[in-house]
Amino acid sequence: MSRWSPASRINNVQPPVIRMGGQRARDLALEGIDVIDLGPSSPHYVTPKHIIDAGVQALHDGHTNHAPSLGIPEFRTAIAEKLSSINHIQADPGRDVMVVPGSQQGLYYAVNAYVGQGDEVLLVEPVWGSFRQQIELAEATPISVSLSAEEEYHLSYEALDACATERTKLLIFNNPQNPTGRVYTRAELENVARVAQERDLLVLCDETYEYFVYDSNEHISLATLPGMKERTITSFTFNKSYGMSGWRLGCMVAPGELLDPMSRVQEYTASFVPPFTQIAGVAALRGPQDHIQQWRDECRDLRLQVAAMFNALPGVHCPITEGTTFLFPRFPGGEASTELAERLLNEALVTVTPGSGFGDSGEGHLRVSLMRSPVDRVLEGVERITKVLRG
């Protein structure tokens, strides 16, 4: 073995499932073949103009140098205002808000700062694949709390508590949930809070899809429950609600003493988020919000149409999601989700995400993104899929 072999922890890290088929799709597109992308979660929308204008003006105004590691004061203040009015979280902008270069980086900071060898981390599964890989990079042990499609992915106290041990230090989940689209009820969040307090766990809660909630469902931030603010790190992002995936902008919210170890990780990695990006973030939070309602309404209606198309197929079960920008249909037969996704790319020329990438309980499913392509392209892509599956 070469003395330049990667560190052993790298061997446990798998390629991102959302990238599966991506290179093949790009190769086909370069050949002029029409491939429809229903895979990754980042929306096809361009960042609203007023946000772009603010970022460009900030560049012209000279905001091109270093920024404080936690973020510029104006942006952290704008975030605190939003947290108070939308999430009902009271945060001191000077100590309880940390600006990060994308939510994935912020989540990595939290995992890296708090767990290591010998620690166990509970993952509510099906689970966004990056969580498991980040835990592996920290050399901690991921423990799956497997939820059942038959029980509509209900999150119970018993399921959580049965997986916790004396070595459990952290619990990670997201709400609304990627990939199932569940929006957890207050009772389910109280189950999380009960386990966290009884077991003295830190909780990392990813609320990326907070604005994409439908019908009578309500998004509740876990940190607002009694006894949870002091033990919860909440992640928010500008990717989905403001079309800013390429800007790499997110924030972590927690009591200052919890953010301090994370800020030390940031200081020696990314260092800070570019100030012009943060100024664009201020414009996002304080500027017009009309596009959010428009995008949400579009996705709300589209999920009904797409679910109906899938449910018309024999043996396919596609629940109508309560939130997020996906559907997570279950397919019959013994075909592995990776094989099915590859077949759909080759035969239907559509990219989707295999359910196995979200853990063992995601096998037999595909995640279908509703915002990755325009509405007409999404519908065309699903029509192509249904034709292939009908044979």
Paired with 12 in beta bridges are none
CATH number of 8-46+290-390: 3.90.1150.10
| Paired residues of 43 in beta bridges | none
Q: Which residue has the tokens 């990326």?
A: 208
Distance between CA atoms of residues 188 and 319, nearest Å: 19
Two tokens, residue 292: 């959010």
- Give the residue extent of every domain in the chain: 8-46+290-390, 65-286
**Tokens representing residue 128 in the block:** 């966004």
Q: How confident is the prediction along the chain (391 residues), in pLDDT tens digits per residue? A: 567 788 888 887 777 665 666 677 778 888 888 999 999 888 999 999 999 999 999 999 999 999 999 999 999 999 999 999 999 999 999 999 999 999 999 999 999 999 999 999 999 999 998 999 999 999 999 999 999 888 889 999 999 999 999 999 999 999 999 999 999 999 999 999 999 999 999 999 999 999 999 999 999 999 999 999 999 999 999 999 999 999 999 999 999 999 999 999 999 999 999 999 999 999 999 999 999 999 999 999 999 999 999 999 999 999 999 999 999 999 998 899 999 999 999 999 999 999 999 999 999 999 999 999 999 999 999 999 999 999 7
Half-sphere exposure of 203 (CA within 13 A, CB side): 32
38 alpha carbon, distance to own chain's centre: 16
How far apart are alpha carbons 262 and 107 in whole angstroms?
Answer: 9
Residue 345 to residues 19, 26, 264, Cα–Cα distance (Å): 13, 11, 43
SS3 274: coil
Alpha helices in the chain (DSSP H): 22-30, 49-60, 73-82, 103-114, 129-137, 157-163, 186-199, 239-242, 256-267, 275-286, 290-311, 337-348, 375-390
* Class of CATH domain 65-286: alpha beta
* Eight-state DSSP code of residue 7: P
CB atoms within 10 A of CB 215: 10
